[in-house]
Amino acid sequence: MVLNWDIVRILSRIYEFMAAQVIDKTDRRILEILQQDCSLSNAELAEQVNLSSSSCHRRVRLLEQSGLISRYVTLLSHEALGLTLTVFIEVALNKKDKATRDSFMDRIRTWPEVQECHFISGEYDNLLKIVLEDIVAYRLFVLDKLLAIPEVEKTRSAISLGQWKSTTALPLSSSGNPG
């Protein structure tokens, strides 16, 4: 019997994808650990989850291929960089059509001050989280950038006076996956 290696590769990928969709307790533990410190070596990670290095490496690769791990980043201290002002800005657009939304999003995606942008319900259409040096930088951002966008009808801002909690870790124990 002759095997078509393209079919074997495709079936292998399908099997890996399906296997990665159901995560077990070990996968959850791997994800929890990596959310806290993704700089661990594979050997250190394997030791913490009681797996061999090769098994641990294979599981991490499957989690990456399935999209559960989307990327690895370094988190910087915005205070140490002099970015001491965090502001949440609600933005209402003058039209509610797709072209207006797309035009607005195309602009703000290029602005490094914008850490997050959420499409929201209610009186305003978007919620921005921006991080800046100070109130002068905030004023310049609003006047020279945000209000310069023709699609922006109005804004409302809230300046953060302090942060009680900040995390990038997702709550794995409450996710809908079995395991």
pLDDT in tens, 131-154: 999 999 999 999 999 999 999 999
Banded pLDDT at 173 (limits 50, 70, 90): confident
Bigger pLDDT: 34 vs 22:
34
- Distance, C-alpha 20 to centroid of its chain: 20
Q: What are the pLDDT digits (tens) for 46-103?
A: 999 999 999 999 999 999 998 899 999 999 999 999 999 999 999 999 999 999 999 9
> According to the model, what pLDDT value does residue 160 have?
96
Instruction: Identify whether 165 is part of a domain.
Output: no
Statement to judge: residues 93 and 139 lie in one domain = yes
Domain range for 151 is 85-159
Q: Name residue 88's amino acid.
A: F
Q: Is 80 a domain residue?
A: no
What pTM does this model have?
A: 0.77
Helices (H), 90-168: 98-108, 135-140
Residues 43 and 100 in one domain: no
Same domain assignment for residues 25 and 59: yes
Torsion of Cα atoms, 99 then 105 then 106 then 112, to 10°: 170
Check whether 129 has a pLDDT greater than 70: yes
Domain count, the chain: 2
Q: Give CA–CA dist 84/98, Å, rounded.
A: 34
Confidence of residue 8 (pLDDT cuts 50, 70, 90): low
- The CATH number given to whatever domain includes residue 110 is 3.30.70.920
Segment among 35-44, 65-74, 100-109, 165-174 with least mean pLDDT: 165-174
Is pLDDT above 70 for 7?
no
73 is a domain residue: no
Whether 44 and 89 map to the same domain: the answer is no
Whether residue 110 is found in the same domain as residue 153: yes
* pLDDT surpasses 80 at 14: no
Assess contact for 130 and 89: CB atoms under 8 A. Answer: yes
Let me know whether 39 and 98 are in one domain: no
- What is the Cα–Cα distance from 41 to 28, expressed in whole angstroms? 18
- For residues 78 and 62, give the distance between their C-alpha atoms in angstroms, rounded to a whole number: 33
Q: What pLDDT is stored for residue 6 in this prediction?
A: 65
SS3 track for 16-78:
HHHHHHCCCHHHHHHHHHHHHCCCCCHHHHHHHCCCCHHHHHHHHHHHHHCCCCCCCCCCCCC
- Residue 133 maps to a domain: yes
Whether 120 contacts 92, CB under 8 Å: no
Would 21 be classed as within a structural domain?
yes
Residue 19 lies in a domain: yes
d(CA 94, CA 14): 46
Establish if 143 belongs to a structural domain. yes
Which residue, of 65, 98, 117, is where some domain finishes? 65
Tell whether 150 and 91 lie within a shared domain. yes
